[in-house]
Amino acid sequence: MIIDIILPLSLVFIMFSLGLGLTINDFKNVAQQPKVFAIGIINQMVLLPVVAFGLITFLGLNNEMAVGLMILACSPGGVTSNIITKLAKGDTALSISFTAVVSVATVITLPLITGFSINYFMGSEAPAINVLSLGLAMFFITAIPVALGLFIHHKAETFTKKFEPKASKISAILFILIVIGALASEWEAFVNNVTVLGPSIVALIILMLLLGYGTAHLFRMREPQAVSVAIATGIQNATVGITVGNLILPSGEGLSVLSLPSGVYGILMYLVVLPIVFGYVKWVHAKIDNS
């Protein structure tokens, strides 16, 4: 019930709430800040999967776990990354632009990289996957809700201003409930695999935050932009990863083995990222006070 029905519907609502927070001006940021946007997109859509692949190889993850981690690495950012960017005093408009464009682009990139990962890591044991069908599923549960939210924002701004904050809170609650519910249904599998997945996921989060922040400063971005790039690079939408894993390899009532990395990530991400963000904000304030 949670996995087969509530999970996809929740993802649709989460992506719809993302669209409600968008305006046409957010997309204009792409044209106005091409260098900033290009670095963020390259980090998230090229560097992140490459680093994930490297960690999988280095740490020797098994076949299904390797594919699950690659699915996570190909997932777009989500509403969570926008909220954390705001907490970290980053460029929230830029963060929203990243999330919107990558959410649409992954309709193509996620099925292609996932298809490659399944064949590469699972070989003869790979489940049958139709890349076109997966792409269409991604389109209907991610791109269409985002576009609908953007359309409603454009046509009914008064309603959107009142409802969007509530929708964002509902999305955050849904995300937490999805992760807890999914893991509760497969708690034994989670416990058995967290020691295997934990190091790779924590390493992936920290490495990508550092690489995102480092590349932003390498190209001389302003601090709020650097924060946005770092968070967009380091934080993924675990709900998408869980959903895609279960679309490819359904497991009845429980969590698909391909979804386990995203489920573990959904918990560890908060435990790793929030202390870093609050530590960063404290450091910035101390730096301002001393200047």
Give per-residue pLDDT as tens, 137-175. 778 877 788 788 888 888 887 888 888 778 777 777 776
Print the domain residue range for 144. 2-290
> What are the start-end ranges of the E strands in 69-191?
none
Based on the structure, what is the number of domains in the chain? 1
What is the per-residue pLDDT across 68-125, written as a single tens digit (0 to 9) for each? Answer: 999 999 988 777 787 788 778 888 778 877 877 888 888 888 889 998 999 999 887 7
Q: How far apart are CA 16 and CA 186, in angstroms?
A: 28
pLDDT recorded at residue 181: 67
Q: How far apart are CA 33 and CA 47, in angstroms?
A: 20
pLDDT recorded at residue 50: 95
Provide the CATH number for the domain around residue 123: 1.20.1530.20
Q: How far apart are CA 92 and CA 101, in angstroms?
A: 14
